[in-house]
Structure 1
Amino acid sequence: MSHFTQKLGLPVMSSSQAQKHVTHNEALTILDSLVQLGLVSRSLEAPPTDPQDGSCYLVAGEGAGVWEGRGSTIAHWQSPMWTYFQPRAGWISWIADEELLLVFDGDAWRSFPGTFGSLGINAAADELNRLAVGGAASLFDGREGGHSLKVNKAASAASANVVWQTGYSGRAELGLLGSDDLQLKVSADGNTWENAITVDRISGNVGLGRSPGAARLEVSGGIRNSSSFSPYLQLANTGPSGAQAWIGIPDWNRSAFYIYGSVSDIMTMYDTPTRSHRLYGGGSERIRIASGGDVGIGTSSPTARLHVAGAIRAGSYLKAALPSAATVGAGTLAYVSDAAGGAQFAYSDGTQWLKMRDGNPV
């Protein structure tokens, strides 16, 4: 039978041994030193001048002074002498002056651990989910600096993404999903996924419900702007001579489209409570479409299907350049500069052009 234990080298009492308490106390001292091992430091080659009873040090280098030749061993001080222990694979120790946990692998002390095959924090990790965390929240704290969380993939065709689930069934995922463009997808059941947003990695252009195109934003489907205030869409040219376009609802009873110059309205269209439409230019109303469909140009009270307050000028044609009377239809007017009998208006009867003056062909 060996006189020492296999792992810690504790002295073992023999059946006929005298003064058994000496052996017993020596074993207790070793246990007190090595169980729940804590090292004051691993940076000293020579012992400190005033060590505390029970303190342990990992001898640095080859050792010096009374530690000479004791490199990489554990030196334990119990007044009035040092005792040395050779660490074995699997021993774990806390290094107090570095606030570092180390493990001995049989050859050297290494940070604990070097690598984990998997890690579960209040949860069970597995071959797929190598890191599993169970709890209400996780914090990645940059303290007084920044913090970067990286998700890497090996190839463009692979995915690097974050998935949000309900009952372990996917509902949304964001990341590089089979390409290097940023995508956001959503799902109702975890099986069928709809592409909501894609951002082109080169241009930065965005596609909503579709792939990005040549414009900064392209949308497949309608756009709705809802607000308890005056909702609007503003398009602004920020150049030195730029104009602004507004599409919005100024109040509860009308919608409008505005194009603003630097001082006054260039164009404004309203849909008022009377259901009429008005086109403004230069700050003044120019055209109105009444609720019944009558159109006024230069008047806000049209009394005919087309009511023009001012002169009307028709385009001038040579007879040979007149469009087909059948194509333009009966009732179309045109000014013919070389009509027989002199320049005059002509009209289409659906078959040919006739002179307004006498009804004869032009």
Structure 2
Amino acid sequence: MTDSLTPRLALPLLAAGQAQKEMSHNEALARIDMTLHGNIIAADAEIPPGAPEPGQCWILGSVPEADWAGHPHELAGWTGGGWRFVAPCEGMRLWLGINGGFALFSGGEWRLGDAYGRLIVAGEQVVGPRVAAITEPSGGATVDAEARATILAVLNAMREHGLVDAG
């Protein structure tokens, strides 16, 4: 990374006395437009589309081809000036659409549809990783030890997920 680029998104910085400042400025705006509240057409894409529209973006797969070659796992966006690429940085999050949820770049890879593995509300974890299934009771129609054990297992699971206080 040079002093003429920002450290996270490699946005070009203006230099004092620089001629044609609009080129650096416009490049930075194009990259910001791709990454700020990004809306992704497809993830793990390998082949560029035939007729992209300005503003459309793709998360590239591990072996992209043609115009995308040499940009694995990067964000590719089509602009009036052609393809722009942004290398993902830790914590980058992009929208995959209503059925896909979010793509999160973490640990050097894109995690598709995986929000975070837990949900924090008001500083408290309320949902965590899924636990083993709870066995349904089978037996009589009256309250018995098996039913009580199942109810206790449900309560313990809810407590573990932070949905019910441990009391």
Offset from partner CA, 1:221-265 (integer Å, 9 cap, x none): xxxxxxxxxxxxxxxxxxxxxxxxxxxxxxxxxxxxxxxxxxxxx
**Structure 2 residue corresponding to 1:115, chosen from 117, 120, 134:** 117
Identical pairs, percent: 24
1:96 maps onto 2:91 in alignment: no
Q: Measure, in 2, the Cα distance between the counterparts of 1:16 and 1:94.
A: 38
The letter for the 1-side match of 2:107 is G
In the comparison of the two structures, how many residue pairs are matched? Answer: 140
Q: Measure, in 2, the Cα distance between the counterparts of 1:125 and 1:23.
A: 40
The letter for the 1-side match of 2:97 is A
Moved over 6 A (4+): none
1:201 maps onto 2:146 in alignment: yes
Partner of 1:234: none
Give ranges in structure 2 of 5+ residues lacking alignment: 148-167
SS at match of 1:93: strand
Partner of 1:55: 56
Is the CA contact 1:93–1:101 (under 8 Å) kept in the aligned structure 2?
Answer: yes
Q: Measure, in 2, the Cα distance between the counterparts of 1:104 and 1:152.
A: 33
Is the CA contact 1:40–1:97 (under 8 Å) kept in the aligned structure 2?
Answer: no
Offset from partner CA, 1:31-84 (integer Å, 9 cap, x none): 111111221111431100110112111112301122123221111111342111
1:1-362 map, 5 Å: 2-96=3-97, 98-110=99-111, 111-116=113-118, 119-120=120-121, 124=122, 126=124, 130-131=125-126, 152=134, 198-201=143-146
Task: Give the CA deviation at 1:97.
Answer: 8.0
The letter for the 2-side match of 1:3 is S
SS at match of 2:43: coil
TM-score, length basis structure 2:
0.69
Give ranges in structure 1 of 5+ residues lacking alignment: 133-149, 154-175, 183-196, 203-362
Q: Measure, in 2, the Cα distance between the counterparts of 1:94 and 1:56.
A: 10
The letter for the 2-side match of 1:131 is V
Offset from partner CA, 1:142-189 (integer Å, 9 cap, x none): xxxxxxxx9849xxxxxxxxxxxxxxxxxxxxxx9xxxx99xxxxxxx
Partner of 1:265: none
The letter for the 2-side match of 1:115 is G
SS at match of 2:23: helix
Partner of 1:258: none
The letter for the 2-side match of 1:201 is E
Q: Measure, in 1, the Cα distance between the counterparts of 2:102 and 2:51.
A: 25
Is the CA contact 2:31–2:84 (under 8 Å) kept in the aligned structure 1?
Answer: no
Structure ranking higher in strand proportion? 1
RMSD: 3.2
The letter for the 2-side match of 1:112 is D
Task: Give the CA deviation at 1:14.
Answer: 1.0
Offset from partner CA, 1:126-155 (integer Å, 9 cap, x none): 4xxx428xxxxxxxxxxxxxxxxx9849xx
SS at match of 2:63: coil
SS at match of 2:146: coil
Q: Measure, in 1, the Cα distance between the counterparts of 2:62 and 2:98.
A: 18
Is the CA contact 1:4–1:12 (under 8 Å) kept in the aligned structure 2?
Answer: yes
Offset from partner CA, 1:205-230 (integer Å, 9 cap, x none): xxxxxxxxxxxxxxxxxxxxxxxxxx
CA 1:115/1:97 → structure 2, altered by over 3 Å: closer, same or farther? closer
Structure ranking higher in helix proportion? 2
Is the CA contact 1:41–1:97 (under 8 Å) kept in the aligned structure 2?
Answer: no
Is the CA contact 2:101–2:115 (under 8 Å) kept in the aligned structure 1?
Answer: no
Is the CA contact 2:47–2:64 (under 8 Å) kept in the aligned structure 1?
Answer: yes
Is the CA contact 2:44–2:60 (under 8 Å) kept in the aligned structure 1?
Answer: yes
